[in-house]
Structure formats: C-alpha cells, structure tokens
C-alpha cells in the first residue's frame, strides 16, 4: 500500500486546499519573471518539465499504481481529458499574466467557485446548508455585477473558470491517487508540448528550445516543480472535502492575484471591483459562520 492510499480527514483536506490555493495566488510572481518567452512556449515547457518531475517522483514512490492506471484504456481517456483541460487552463493563465490581465484572471477564479457549486450540485448531489446558500447568492451577485459592468465579454475569466471547474469535477469523480493520476495526465499532453518546442526551435531561430538567459532557462525547468506540487495538493484535497467547500477556499487565490496585479504590477482597480469584493467577502463571512456552527456541506447519500 502506498502512502497516498491513507484516507485523509476533512481537516487534512482543508490544509491541502489552503496550501494549493495560496501557492496559485502567488503564481503571477513566477510567470512574470519569464514573460520574455512566448506564452505558448512557456506552456509547453511547463508541461514537459511537469511530466519529467512527476515521472521521476512516481517511479520512485508509486510505480505499480502508475502502471496500473496506464493499462486501463477508459481511465487513460478520462485522465487524458483532464490533462488537456488543465493544459488549456495553464495556457490561458500564462497568457493573461504575460499580457497584464492578472485582474481579469482573478475574476475567472472568482467565478470558478460558482461553477464548482453548480457541478457539485448536478453531478455529485452535494447539498448546501442555508447559510451556504446565502453565501453562494451573495457571491453570484458580486460576480454578476462585475461581469456586466466590465463592458466586454470576459473570455479569459470564463475559460479559466469553466476549464478548471471541469478539471476539478473529473478529479473528484475519479478519486484516484494524486501523483500517479497527475503523471498520466501530463504524459498524455507531453508529446504535443515537446513536439511544439522542437518545431518552434527549428522554424524560428528567435525562439530556441532554451533561451540564451541561464536564469530564464532555469525558471522554465523549475516550472515543472512549481506546477506539480500545488496540483498534488489540489488532488489530495479534492478527495477529502466537497467540491463546493473547495470553491470557497479558492477565493484565496484570486484575492492574492488581484492584490499582486493592483499593488505590485499596477493594473487598474475600479469601483466595479470594489462592489464585487464587497459581495464576495460578505458571502465568505456567511460561509465561515456556517462552518463555525458546525453546518458543514453535506453530500447526499
């Protein structure tokens, strides 16, 4: 039995969720450091080095489970779909950070918990207590107001929200061991990413496989590590707590992103953001009160 097979408690799931969302909230700092590389190439490197790191990890710690997963065609298809969904999410997010849309990306991760709640209700039969329903309504009002007042179709936000919501649903329903599953996901998209890097290096001398800067090259390789670890934490938390609970903890990530976008990278913060924040944080207060009263989200039997 591998160390991942031990069932996590609810509180352990919360700790893993907090760890992954704080890490994701600080991601703009990392991706801003390599904005000199085209976003698609950054994405390809991220996939390649994530797979390399994960493969070494899983071969050393849980080889049998990894082999067991790749021998199941139906499971391989499901994990492959998860791999393409998370790759799309990564790519849009890197594009957003590179092109000074951190605030819009943050909006996407504010919308995502609503997607999670919807998916949890429809596919996992999750129910919300009264205070949690109020929290969802308040968050919905805030996000809806912001979306309407934004003045244009927020495609970055919506693609990020939907792609990650569907990814979370697949992870929840699969209920697999985190690292072997992550390894299979990245294994499926790895050949496409590697082929793209070789293709661009051959067809465009201005975009070599590795940049001339040693620091940038090191950061690209390190992207595999900083990608895999939070995803491992996410996979562990998804097994232990309801999807709707994860949705509210996820507000940590866009909050950190928005603070970085506004105060570190100088992006605009207007009245629409202020109103959105007011409703969202009011919802979080309601949710926190419900947790303190012991009214945790339940799953229908």
Residue with tokens 């866009």: 254
Residue 300 is predicted with a pLDDT of: 31
**Rounded to an integer, what distance in angstroms lies between the CA atom of residue 20 and that of residue 249?**
10
In the chain, which residues have pLDDT < 50?
1-5, 295-301
Residue 151 is predicted with a pLDDT of: 67
3-state secondary structure 89-121: HHHHHHHHHHCCCHHHHHHHHHHHHHHHHHHHH
- If you write DSSP's letter for every residue of 144-192 in order, what string do you get? HHHHHHT-S--HHHHHHHHHHHHHHHHHHHH---HHHHHHHHHHHHHHH
**Rounded to an integer, what distance in angstroms lies between the CA atom of residue 135 and that of residue 147?**
18
Residue 299 is predicted with a pLDDT of: 32
**Rounded to an integer, what distance in angstroms lies between the CA atom of residue 54 and that of residue 83?**
13
Residue 243 is predicted with a pLDDT of: 64
pLDDT tens by residue, 224-273: 999 888 878 887 887 788 766 776 787 788 889 989 999 999 988 888 87
Residue 150 is predicted with a pLDDT of: 67
**Rounded to an integer, what distance in angstroms lies between the CA atom of residue 45 and that of residue 39?**
10
Q: What values do phi and psi take at 8, rounded to 5?
A: -85, 150
pLDDT tens by residue, 71-107: 999 899 999 999 999 999 999 999 999 999 998 898 8
The number of residues making up the chain comes to: 301
Structure letter (DSSP) for residue 7: P
**Rounded to an integer, what distance in angstroms lies between the CA atom of residue 196 and that of residue 87?**
14
Closest C-alpha among 34, 265, 280, 267 to residue 140: 280
213 CB-side CA count, 13 A: 12
Q: What values do phi and psi take at 101, rounded to 5?
A: -120, 40
Structure letter (DSSP) for residue 5: G
**Pairing state between β 126-127 and 298-299:** antiparallel
Residue 130 is predicted with a pLDDT of: 80
Residue 291 is predicted with a pLDDT of: 62
Domain boundaries, the chain: 3-299
Residue 97 is predicted with a pLDDT of: 93
Residue 2 is predicted with a pLDDT of: 47
In the chain, what are the helix, strand and coil shares in percent, each to the nearest 5? 80, 0, 20
């Amino acid at each position: 039995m591998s160390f991942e097979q031990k069932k996590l408690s609810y509180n352990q799931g919360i700790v893993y969720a907090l760890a992954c969302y704080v890490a994701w909230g600080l991601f703009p700092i990392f991706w801003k450091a390599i904005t000199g590389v085209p976003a698609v190439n950054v994405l390809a490197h991220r996939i390649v080095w994530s797979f390399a790191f994960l493969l070494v990890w899983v071969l050393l710690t849980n080889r049998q489970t990894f082999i067991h997963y790749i021998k199941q065609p139906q499971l391989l298809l499901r994990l492959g779909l998860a791999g393409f969904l998370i790759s799309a999410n990564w790519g849009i997010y890197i594009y957003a950070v590179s092109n000074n849309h951190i605030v819009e990306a943050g909006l996407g991760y504010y919308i995502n918990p609503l997607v999670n709640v919807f998916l949890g209700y429809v596919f996992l039969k999750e129910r919300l207590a009264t205070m949690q329903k109020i929290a969802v309504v308040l968050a919905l009002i805030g996000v809806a107001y912001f979306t309407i007042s934004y003045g244009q179709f927020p495609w970055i936000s919506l693609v990020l929200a939907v792609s990650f919501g569907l990814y979370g649903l697949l992870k929840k329903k699969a209920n697999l061991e985190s690292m072997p599953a992550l390894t299979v996901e990245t294994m499926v998209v790895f050949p496409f990413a590697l082929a793209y890097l070789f293709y661009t290096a051959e067809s465009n001398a201005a975009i070599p496989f590795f940049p001339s800067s040693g620091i940038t090259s090191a950061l690209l390789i390190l992207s595999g590590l900083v990608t895999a670890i939070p995803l491992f934490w996410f996979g562990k938390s998804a097994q232990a707590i309801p999807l709707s609970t994860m949705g509210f903890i996820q507000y940590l990530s866009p909050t950190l992103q928005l603070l970085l976008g506004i105060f570190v990278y100088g992006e605009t913060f207007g009245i629409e953001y202020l109103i959105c924040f007011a409703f969202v944080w009011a919802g979080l207060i309601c949710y926190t009160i419900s947790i303190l009263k012991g009214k945790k989200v339940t799953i229908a039997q």
